[in-house]
Amino acid sequence: MSLSPRTVRAVRTVRTSGGLSLRVDARAALVVLLLLAVAAAASVALIATGDFPMSPADVLRTLAGGGTPAQDVVVHDLRLPRVLVGLLAGACLGLAGAVFQSVSRNPLGSPDVIGFGQGSAAGALVVIVLFHGDPFAVAAGAVAGGVVTGLAVYLLAWKKGINGYRLVLVGIGAAAVLTGLRDYLMTKADLVDATRSMIWMVGSLNGRDWEQVWPLLCAAAMLLPVVLGNGRALRMLEMGDDAAHALGVRAERTRLVVTACAVLLTAAATAAAGPVGFVALAAPQLARRLTRAPGPGLLAAAAMGATLLVGADWASQRLFGADKLPVGALTGMLGGCYLLWLLFTERKAGRV
């Protein structure tokens, strides 16, 4: 028997005289703080990047309200909403990925693998190609597509409860059908609609403004507390339904609530930024490797998602020039490499 080094987790407990007690995993908390710091730094760097270059100090001064009128317009009207959409969409995707991976007990159980991203894309394309809708209608179509797909996958995978493996398989099937539908819609589209569809489908933060920020912020503000509130029950569910049930967790209800939240988070993020690939898949896994904590690190996954998306957007702007390469293309490439690495290490560990 091989012994791995003992790791004693530093868990701090805060207790008050009133009988309240909070448990804080020191390492996980540190990881979240560090990720938030990196996300903030990347945000400032991203705001500073573009055809109208600024120094980080200028950015901070302008954000605080002390910039020149030109800087003010560039930061507040053009670049800040883009960064906020990136942060929020990344956080929503990271959180949704953590939930799906926990519910399906499978690192592949991520919304862009099990069809929800494709569902949103199909919904958006129906609006673009068949109805030539405006951006708002496209976003609504994306939300509707994601929600309908989520519902369909959940119902199809239902057999006296949800089994993670079945959820992933049904989801992959749904993704295939929806990809077919998407391709069919593309052949029906004229050149303008097809181009618009292509751009939308890659997932991009280009030209995002406050109209995308507010709905996304509302969705995140409503859903995040619900998911976090169920975080402890979700942790118990990882031990199997029977064990969770024995501890007083309503397994099926918890799963339904958090899955519904994750579907909505994915749909909201996709409506705002397009189906940005692989953030939901990679963020929870990367966060988990940093926190080394068992169970879904929901906050860490959300922070990692935000950091990844904004960081990738900044990298694509720096490497390929302003608004040349949509961020989804970069996350797709990075995510694909990550997926290969994940499969490789899982195979070595004998799990795949």
Choose the stretch contacting another protein; rule: CB under 8 A; options: 7-15, 28-36, 79-87, 111-119. 7-15
Map the footprint of another protein across residues 103-122, applying CB under 8 A: 105
Out of 57, 243, 319, 352, name the contact with another protein by CB under 8 A.
243
x/- string (CB under 8 A) for another protein, residues 133-172? ---------------------------x------------
Q: What's the min distance (Å) between Cβ of 26 and another protein?
A: 14
Query: Based on CB atoms, which residue is closest to another protein, 192 or 239?
Result: 239
Q: Does 236 bind another protein (CB under 8 A)?
A: yes
Q: Does 235 bind another protein (CB under 8 A)?
A: yes
CB of 244 within 8 A of CB of 237?
Answer: yes
Q: Does 348 bind another protein (CB under 8 A)?
A: no
Q: What's the min distance (Å) between Cβ of 278 and another protein?
A: 21
User: What is the secondary structure of 182-232 as a DSSP string?
Assistant: HHHHHHHS-HHHHHHHHHHHH---TT--HHHHHHHHHHHHHHHHHHHHTHH
Q: Pairing state of beta strands 21-25 and 11-15?
A: antiparallel
Q: What's the min distance (Å) between Cβ of 250 and another protein?
A: 5
Query: Based on CB atoms, which residue is closest to another protein, 11 or 221?
Result: 11
Q: Does 248 bind another protein (CB under 8 A)?
A: yes
Residue 339's Cβ-side half-sphere holds a number of Cα atoms within 13 Å equal to 17
Q: Does 245 bind another protein (CB under 8 A)?
A: yes
- How many chain residues bind another protein (CB under 8 A)? 37
* Alpha-carbon span 218 to 261, nearest angstrom: 13
Map the footprint of another protein across residues 321-340, applying CB under 8 A: none
Query: Based on CB atoms, which residue is closest to another protein, 20 or 64?
Result: 20
Q: Does 292 bind another protein (CB under 8 A)?
A: yes
Give the burial class of 134: count Cβ atoms within 10 A of its Cβ; 0-12 exposed, 13-18 middle, 19 or more buried.
exposed
Out of 193, 238, 252, 323, name the contact with another protein by CB under 8 A.
238
* Alpha-carbon span 60 to 55, nearest angstrom: 9
Q: What's the min distance (Å) between Cβ of 233 and another protein?
A: 8
Q: Does 232 bind another protein (CB under 8 A)?
A: yes
Q: Reduce the DSSP state of residue 106 to 3 states and report it.
A: coil
**What's the chain's length in residues?**
352
Out of 33, 57, 218, 247, name the contact with another protein by CB under 8 A.
247
Map the footprint of another protein across residues 295-314, applying CB under 8 A: 295
CB of 179 within 8 A of CB of 112?
Answer: no
Q: Does 196 bind another protein (CB under 8 A)?
A: no
φ, ψ of residue 75 to 5 degrees: the values are -75, -55
CB of 307 within 8 A of CB of 40?
Answer: no
Out of 161, 180, 240, 321, name the contact with another protein by CB under 8 A.
240
Q: Which of 227, 232, 235, 284 is nearest to 259 (CA)?
A: 227
What is the token pair recorded at 211? 């109209």
**Amino acid (1-letter code) at residue 181:** L
Which are the contacts of 155, defined by CB distance < 8 A and separation ≥ 6? none
Map the footprint of another protein across residues 11-70, applying CB under 8 A: 11, 13, 15, 19-23
Query: Based on CB atoms, which residue is closest to another protein, 13 or 187?
Result: 13
Choose the stretch contacting another protein; rule: CB under 8 A; options: 87-95, 199-207, 237-245, 272-280. 237-245
Q: What is the 3 state secondary structure string of 305-337? A: HHHHHHHHHHHHHHHHCCCCCCHHHHHHHHHHH
Instruction: Report the interface residues with another protein, using CB under 8 A.
Output: 1-4, 6-9, 11, 13, 15, 19-23, 105, 160, 229, 232, 235-236, 238-240, 242-243, 245-250, 292-295
